[in-house]
Amino acid sequence: MISPVSMLRFYVFISFMCLARADTGETCPSFTRLSFHSALVGTGLNVRLMLYTRRNVTCAQTINSSAFENLNVTKKTTFIVHGFRPTGSPPVWMEDLVKALLSVEDMNVVVVDWNRGATTVMYNHASSKTRKVATVLKEFIDQMLAKGASLDDIYMVGVSLGAHIAGFVGEMYHGRLGRITGLDPAGPLFNGKPPQDRLDPSDAQFVDVIHSDSDALGYKEPLGNIDFYPNGGLDQPGCPKTILGGFQYFKCDHQRSVYLYLSSLRESCTITAYPCDSYQDYRNGKCVSCGASQNQSCPLLGYYADNWKDYLREKDPPMTKAFFDTAEEKPFCMYHYFVDIITWNRNIRRGDITIKLRDKAGNTTESKINHEPTTFQKYHQVSLLARFNQDLEKVAAISLVFSTGSVIGPRYQLRILRMKLRSLAHPERPQLCRYDLVLMENVETVFQPILCPKLQM
């Protein structure tokens, strides 16, 4: 059953949409564009496969089981499978995703256009067609295999309902597909279903999933070998929090998974995630080492997540959840530091810390560590996970603010015996220290750090 909240979001979402423009005559085949009227009356299923390669990055070639055009079966083939289309419009991210994939690897990119079938105001009608789409893809892949392709080279990127379609295809090949990436797999009508009725870790040799709207349109529980939960998998920063945000309120969290994946294909930032049992444990700095070996790097979100495949195979079961936070805007990267604080107050202090970094050029970045009050005890080190939007390579000044959150009442002091700043993303960088600080509550204290003494072996 679809929850009342999810159904309400679907129908209010639809009410915000206007009629899409009719398709015009084009030289190159393009994604099917339908009108909102088509969504109201419903559409019969018709699956089109459009091939892009580095030879035709912007102009697709229509292919099918008997017409392969320029598809080279000896290369990797990535299928992009979209989801529910309640208004008939093409996915706004599709063109960018095709270009980004081709920019990182010489491959075949096949856009699976099942807009005639996904376009309907009745979500359950679109959901009921997912297995039929999977059957069409199975027939095409069978022809690829007959021409010499390998299942190892088949990669499927499925968005929402498309993630489950990819899972159904993988199940038909008994998990021998090379890889499946699920981008916020659909939750309504799939939550609580058995593995054979949804995406599952056994559907490919490696399955990675990004959950960005697990409290509404997405699936909450783990579905892959590694399941990424940006910002805990719930509300995404930069997305509207109320219906006053209009259309974006309904789609922003759900689509964020796609844009995070897109970020992984660009060189502007690399998003690192941290395997952990819960988001709270991650925020409390309990899960920042990855693997039993110190040489084991943390998993990367998105396209390069399969770098962790061999390590996961050593686990029983070969599954893990990974958490991370993002910025509000593209490319969404955040840079993690530990702030180690030893205090010498006679009495216990509880409160939040805000830390700001500045480099010699005057660039600044700030982190508010306020997800829950921190307890500071005399001569006890507290390690706080700080997250910054910018990575300042050479920090010239640091400021700290201590707050108990009290608007009225006494002002407290936090007496710091030692503060240490260390980068998680770049552990080779020198650690920065400062000694003997007194923080007056809600007053910014600015200081120049010094290099921490190296540990004696």
Please answer whether residues 419 and 343 qualify as being in contact, where contact means their C-beta atoms are separated by less than 8 angstroms: no
The two most distant CA atoms of the chain are separated, in Å, by: 79
First-last CA distance in the chain = 61
Catalytic residue (choose from 127, 160, 212, 214) = 160
Torsion of CA 371, 373, 378, 383, to 10 degrees: -10
Tokens encoding 170: 């993988």
Catalytic residue (choose from 113, 184, 227, 253) = 184
Tokens encoding 88: 């008939």
Is-catalytic flag, 184?
A: yes
Structure-token match 């199940």, residue found: 171
Please answer whether residues 225 and 318 qualify as being in contact, where contact means their C-beta atoms are separated by less than 8 angstroms: yes
* 3-state class (DSSP) for residue 279: helix
Is-catalytic flag, 82?
A: no
Strand ranges inside 215-363, DSSP E: 226-230, 274-275, 320-324, 335-343, 349-359
| Segment 429-433 long-range contacts (CB within 8 Å, at least 24 positions apart) | 429/393, 432/395, 432/398
Catalytic residue (choose from 82, 164, 211, 254) = 254
Tokens encoding 275: 């395997």
Q: Return d(Cα 431, Cα 434) in angstroms, integer.
A: 10
**Annotated binding residue 277:** no
Is-catalytic flag, 160?
A: yes
**Annotated binding residue 198:** yes
Please answer whether residues 186 and 2 qualify as being in contact, where contact means their C-beta atoms are separated by less than 8 angstroms: no
* 3-state class (DSSP) for residue 341: strand
Tokens encoding 28: 């190159």
Around Cβ 30, how many Cβ atoms within 10 Å? 18
Tokens encoding 238: 């930069």
Q: Return d(Cα 280, Cα 354) in angstroms, integer.
A: 19
Catalytic machinery residues:
160, 184, 254
Binding residues: 198, 200, 203
Residues making up the annotated binding site for Ca(2+) are: 198, 200, 203
